[in-house]
Amino acid sequence: MLEIRSLRKVYGGHGRQVEALGDVTLTVPEGQFVCVVGPSGCGKTTLLRCLGGLLAPTSGEVEVAGQPVTGPPDGLAIVFQEYGRSLFPWLRVAENIELPLKSKGVGRAERRRIVDESLTAVGLGDAAKAYPWQLSGGMQQRVAIARAIAFQPKVLLMDEPFAAVDAQTRADLEDLARTVWQRFGMTVLFVTHDIDEAVYLGQRVVMLSASPTRVLEDLDIDLPDKRDQLATRSGTRFAELRSHVYSRIQEAKIARPGS
Amino acid sequence: MSRALGRAGLLLGLPVILLVTWWFASAGSKSFYQPPLETIIKVFPATWTAARFRSDVLPSLGRLFLGYGLAVLLGIVLGVLIGAHRRLRALVEPLLEFLRAIPPPVLVPILILVAGLGDPTKVLVIVSGGIWPVLLNTVEGVRGVDQVLADTCRTYRICGWLRMRTFILRAASPQIVVGARQALSISIIMMVIGELLGATNGLGYTVVQFQRGFEIPEMWSGVFVLGLLGVLLSLAFTLVERRVLSWYHGVRAAERSGR
Amino acid sequence: MTTPRVARRRAGDNPALLGLVGILAFAALLEVLPRAGVLPAEYLPPTSRIVSALLDEFGRGSFWQAVGGTITTWLLGLVIAVVAGIVLGIVIGSVPALRLATASTVEFLRPIPSVALLPLAVVLFSAPIRSILLLVVYASFWPVLIQVLHGVTDIDPVARETALSYRLDRWRRARYLVWPTTLPYVMTGIRLAASVALVLTITGELLIGGTKGIGERIAVAQSSITVPSMYALIVVSGLIGVLANVATRRAERLVLAWHPAVRREFPL
C-alpha cells in the first residue's frame, strides 16, 4: 500500500544544508498499523509530509496504492499534531468534518449521515454544533480523527497526534486509534517519539536513526491483537519489546554519525 | 435593578456632565463664533429638515456607501491576489508602501482635474482613500494564513472557490475587518473633503456654506451631524464585526482562559 | 509550500530587486501611457516631466521651507497628541472606575471624523497653524490613547500579584511593571499616530492654507495649473510619508529590542 524507496530529503538555504532524511526504504502492506519512532528531530515529520504529498523529496520514490506521489494522493488523510491549528476555528465541528466531503462532491443527505457516523465513532455524538475552540484539546483531536474517518481514506497518516494532550486523555485516544483502525480497516502510519505508545499501538515498529535518517530496525510486535492499557502494558512481552526499542534508539543517539 | 442603574450611570454620567457643563458655560456667550449650546440646539430642527435630508444628506450617504463598498471590494480582491503570490508581492510591495504613504486628500485636486466635478469623481475620491487599509491588511492576512490549515486543505483536496470561501477569506477576515474599519473612517473623511473641494450638494458642502455665510450656529449643528454620522456608522460596523468575527473572539477568549 | 527551494532559486527571487523592478515598471508605464496618448498628457504628465519638475523644486529655497514647515507642524502636533495620549491613557487605564466612566465618551468622540472639525477650527482660531494643529492633535490623539489603555489593562495578573507580594511600592510597580508592559503599546500608538498626523498636517495645509507647507504648495500648484509640479509635490508628500513610516518602525524596533513578546496590534 505504501512504498518508500531510497527516500532522501535535504533542506537547504543560505548556504547551509540539512539532510533530514538520509536513505529511507519502507513498505507498508494494506491494512497494517505501523508505528514510526525515532529520537526527536530525526525527520519523522518530513517523512510523513513526503508521504502525504505535501513536500517534494530530494530523491527517491514514494508510492501510495501503486501510484507515485506528486501531490496529495487520493484516499489519504492526515491527522496533524497541532489539533488547535488543523481545525477551522470559524466552522462548527460538523462543518469541519463535512468540508472535505463537500469538495469530494458528496450529496447533502449523505454528508449528514457520514458526519453523524464518524462523530459517533469517536464518541462525540453531541458536539456537532460546537466550535472547535469550545472543546478540550483531546476532544479537538477526536474531531480531527472524525474528519479523517469521514473522508474514508485507504491510508491514514498520524503525525504525533497525541503529543500535546495530557496522559489520561492520551491513553483514551490511543485506544480510539486502535478501534478506528480495526473498524474501518485502513492502513495506518503512526509517527511518534514515544516508545511506549509505538509498541502499544503498532503491529510493527519502525525505528529511525538520528539525522541523516535511516531505518534502524523494523520490528514486528507480536502482542495479541486485543490490547488493553493495563494488561498489555504490564505484560512481560511488552516490557521486552519496549526495552529493546529503547536501547536501539539510545544507541542511535550515541553513535550519531557525522555530528 | 440597582446594578443596571449603576451601569447606565457609568455609561451616561460623563457625557451628561460634559453636556451640562457646556450648556452653562456657553449660556451667556456673546462670542460670535462660540454660540450658546441652547442656540445651536434651537437651530437644529430648522436646519436639518426632511428637504435638507433629501438634498444633502442622502446624496452624501449614497456616495459614501458606494465609494466605501468599492474600496472594500477592490481592496479584498487585489489583496488576496497579491497576498497569495509571493513574487507578485515582492514586485509591488515597495510601490504600495509608497502609494499608501501619500496622504489621500492630496490626490483630490488631481482626481478633479482628470475626472471633473461630478459624482463619479467624489466616489473615486472615497475609493482612493479607503482602498489602502483594506488592501494592505488583506495582503497581511492572506500571507499569514496558518500553514497547518493550508496543509489540511491540500490533504483533503479543498481547492478553488471552496478553499477561497471557507479558508483564505475566513482566515484573513480578522485582518480584513481591521482594514475595513480604518477604511470606514477614512471614507467619511474623504467624503467630506471631496465635497469641500467642489460640490453643489452634500453634508460637507452644506457645512462649509454655513461657515462661509457666517451662519455659525448652523455650522455647529452641521459639525454635530457629521460627528453623529461617524458615531452611528462606527456603531453599525461594530455590530457587523461581532457577527462576522464571533469565532475569532471565541478563540481569543479560549486562549486567554489558558486552555 | 514552505519548502526552501535551493535548486530552483533564481535571480528573480530576490525580493529587493523585484521591488525595484516593480517601481521602475510603474514609472515606465506612467511615462509611456501619456506619451502614447492613452492617458491625457496635460492632466497626467509623463514620469520624466514629473521628475524634472521635482528637480526644479529641489533647487528652490521656498520648497525646502515648505518641507520644513510641514515637518515642524507634524512633529509639534504629534508630540502634543502623544504626551496627552500617554498621560491620560495611564491615568484612566490604572483607575478602573475612571475607565468605566470614560468608556462611552471615548467611544463617542473617537469616530467623529477629524475634518468635521475643520470649519470649527477655521472660525475658532485666526492663526491657520492653530487650526491645523487642532485637526492633527485630535486625529492622532486617539490611536495613542486607545493603545495605552489596552497596554495598561494587559498587565499579567501573575506579575501584578508577584509585585504586590514582594511589597513593591506604587512608584516601583509603575517603573518595573506598568511601564514595561505598556511600552510596546505606546510604540504602536506612536507609529499609528505618526502617519495619521502627517496626513492631517498636509490635508490641513491643503484645505486651510496660510502656512508654509507642502499641502499649501500643492493647492497653489493646483490653482495655477502647473500640473507637473503638482505631481512632483505629491510624490514628495509620499516620500515624507515613507520616511516617517520607516523612522517610526526603526524607533519601535530599537526601543523594543529587549522585549520578549511581540504585541498584538489592536484594531482601531
Verify whether the Cβ–Cβ distance A12 to C3 is below 8 Å.
Answer: no
Average of per-residue pLDDT values in chain A: 89
Verify whether the Cβ–Cβ distance C22 to B182 is below 8 Å.
Answer: no
pLDDT greater than 80 at residue C124: yes
pLDDT-above-90 percentage for chain B: 46
Instruction: Give the confidence band of B168 by pLDDT, cuts at 50, 70, 90.
Output: very high
Q: Which domain holds residue B95?
A: 52-244
pLDDT greater than 50 at residue C168: yes
- Tell me what the mean pLDDT of segment A88-101 comes to: 95
- Tell me what the mean pLDDT of segment C240-262 comes to: 81
List the single best residue of A103, A139, A166 to mutate versus B (max B Cβ within 10 A): A103
pLDDT, position A15: 66
Residue B21 in domain? no
Compute the count of residue pairs across chains A and C with CB atoms less than 8 Å apart. 10
Instruction: Give the confidence band of C258 by pLDDT, cuts at 50, 70, 90.
Output: low
pLDDT-above-70 percentage for chain C: 91
pLDDT, position A255: 62
What DSSP element (H or E) covers C124? helix C118-124
pLDDT-above-70 percentage for chain A: 97
pLDDT-above-90 percentage for chain A: 63
Touching subunits of B (3+ CB pairs, under 8 Å) are: A, C
Grid coordinates given for A83: 489539533
- Tell me what the mean pLDDT of segment B36-60 comes to: 88
Instruction: Give the confidence band of C107 by pLDDT, cuts at 50, 70, 90.
Output: confident
pLDDT tens-digit profile of B236-249? 999 999 999 999 99
Among partner residues C112, C124, C268, which is closest to B231 by beta-carbon distance?
Answer: C112
Among partner residues A77, A103, A147, which is closest to B162 by beta-carbon distance?
Answer: A103
pLDDT, position A256: 56
Cβ-Cβ contacts under 8 Å, C1 against chain A: 54
- Residue C123 forms contact with A (CB below 8 Å): no
- Tell me what the mean pLDDT of segment C33-57 comes to: 88
pLDDT-above-90 percentage for chain C: 42
Instruction: Give the confidence band of A131 by pLDDT, cuts at 50, 70, 90.
Output: very high
- The total number of structural domains in chain B stands at 1
- Tell me what the mean pLDDT of segment A206-214 comes to: 84
Grid coordinates given for C57: 523644486
* Pairwise pLDDT comparison (A259 vs A87), residue with the higher score: A87
- Tell me what the mean pLDDT of segment C224-228 comes to: 87
Verify whether the Cβ–Cβ distance C242 to B18 is below 8 Å.
Answer: no
- Tell me what the mean pLDDT of segment A39-47 comes to: 81
Distance from CA of C193 to the nearest CA of B (A): 13
Which CATH number is B77's domain given? 1.10.3720.10
Q: Is the pTM of this model over 0.90?
A: no
Distance from CA of A10 to the nearest CA of C (A): 10
Beta carbons within 10 angstroms of residue C235's beta carbon:
18
CA distance C225 to C222: 5
pLDDT, position A84: 82
Verify whether the Cβ–Cβ distance C6 to A17 is below 8 Å.
Answer: yes
Verify whether the Cβ–Cβ distance B234 to C111 is below 8 Å.
Answer: yes
Structural domains in chain A, CATH included, are: 2-75+153-254 (3.40.50.300), 87-152 (no CATH)
Residue B237 in domain? yes
Average of per-residue pLDDT values in chain B: 89
Residue C98 sits at the vertex; the CA angle it makes with C95 and C102, to the nearest 5 degrees, is 140
The answer to which of A71-75, B8-12, B102-106, B131-135 has the lowest mean pLDDT is: B8-12
Instruction: Give the confidence band of B258 by pLDDT, cuts at 50, 70, 90.
Output: low
Instruction: Give the confidence band of C94 by pLDDT, cuts at 50, 70, 90.
Output: confident
Verify whether the Cβ–Cβ distance C199 to B12 is below 8 Å.
Answer: no
At the second CATH level, the architecture of C47-255 is: Orthogonal Bundle (1.10)
Verify whether the Cβ–Cβ distance C3 to A55 is below 8 Å.
Answer: yes
pLDDT greater than 80 at residue C250: yes
pLDDT, position C262: 44
Residues within 8 A of A (CB atoms), C 139-198 only? none
pLDDT, position C5: 39
Beta carbons within 10 angstroms of residue C127's beta carbon:
10
pLDDT, position B24: 86
Burial of C242 (0-12, 13-18, 19+ CB in 10 A): middle
Distance between the two ends of chain C, CA-based, in angstroms?
A: 33
Verify whether the Cβ–Cβ distance B155 to A131 is below 8 Å.
Answer: no
Grid coordinates given for C213: 507647507
- Residue C6 forms contact with A (CB below 8 Å): yes
pLDDT greater than 70 at residue C8: no
Whether residue A252 contacts residue A39, with contact meaning beta carbons closer than 8 Å, is answered with yes
pLDDT, position C13: 66
List the single best residue of A76, A81, A118, A133 to mutate versus B (max B Cβ within 10 A): A133
Among partner residues A12, A55, A56, which is closest to C6 by beta-carbon distance?
Answer: A12
Grid coordinates given for C230: 503638482
Place of cell 514629473: C50
Cβ-Cβ contacts under 8 Å, C6 against chain A: 12-13, 17
Touching subunits of A (3+ CB pairs, under 8 Å) are: B, C
pLDDT tens-digit profile of B113-130? 888 888 889 999 999 999
Distance from CA of A124 to the nearest CA of C (A): 33
List the single best residue of C120, C150, C192, C236 to mutate versus B (max B Cβ within 10 A): C120
* Pairwise pLDDT comparison (B12 vs A234), residue with the higher score: A234
Among partner residues C22, C116, C238, which is closest to B223 by beta-carbon distance?
Answer: C116
pLDDT-above-70 percentage for chain B: 99
Average of per-residue pLDDT values in chain C: 84
pLDDT greater than 60 at residue A38: yes
Residue B236 in domain? yes
pLDDT, position C263: 43
Distance from CA of C16 to the nearest CA of A (A): 16
